[in-house]
Homo-oligomer: A and B are copies of this chain.
Amino acid sequence: MEHKKAEKISKALADPNRIMIIKEVKKQNDALYCCDIDAIIDLSQPSICHHLKQLTDTEILIPEKEGRYVKYALNNSLIEEYIDFLHSLKTT
């Protein structure tokens, strides 16, 4: 992974609300809906939308449209690539 990409993923993970959202995706087993987040995070709907956009722009979350709803799944392989990048930084 390019370090520019790793930087962007790091930035997307650098917020407590976005980490909460990712945790919730896991809890809901890759089937998190936008409106579920309202119940969990004390932010306005536009703010939640903004955080989701950062997570989907970086492809950490993969959105899938289902009628009026959007379902989010975690991009496990991207996380793996990011982990590989972190391993590559380590000294031996």
Where the two chains meet, the residues of A that have a C-beta atom closer than 8 Å to any C-beta of B are 3-4, 6-8, 10-11, 13-16, 19-20, 22-23, 25-26, 29-30, 73-74, 76, 79-80, 82-83, 86-87, 89-91
Contact = CB atoms under 8 A, between A and B. Distances in A.
A80 B89 CA distance: 11
B82 A23 contact: no
- Copies of the chain in the assembly: 2
A82 B89 CA distance: 13
Contacts of A86: 79, 82-83, 86
Nearest to A77: B90
- The secondary structure that dominates the A interface is helix
B87 A74 contact: no
23 contacts: A7-B13, A7-B14, A7-B16, A7-B19, A11-B11, A11-B14, A13-B14, A14-B14, A25-B91, A26-B89, A26-B90, A26-B91, A29-B91, A74-B91, A76-B91, A79-B87, A79-B89, A79-B90, A80-B90, A82-B86, A83-B83, A83-B87, A86-B86
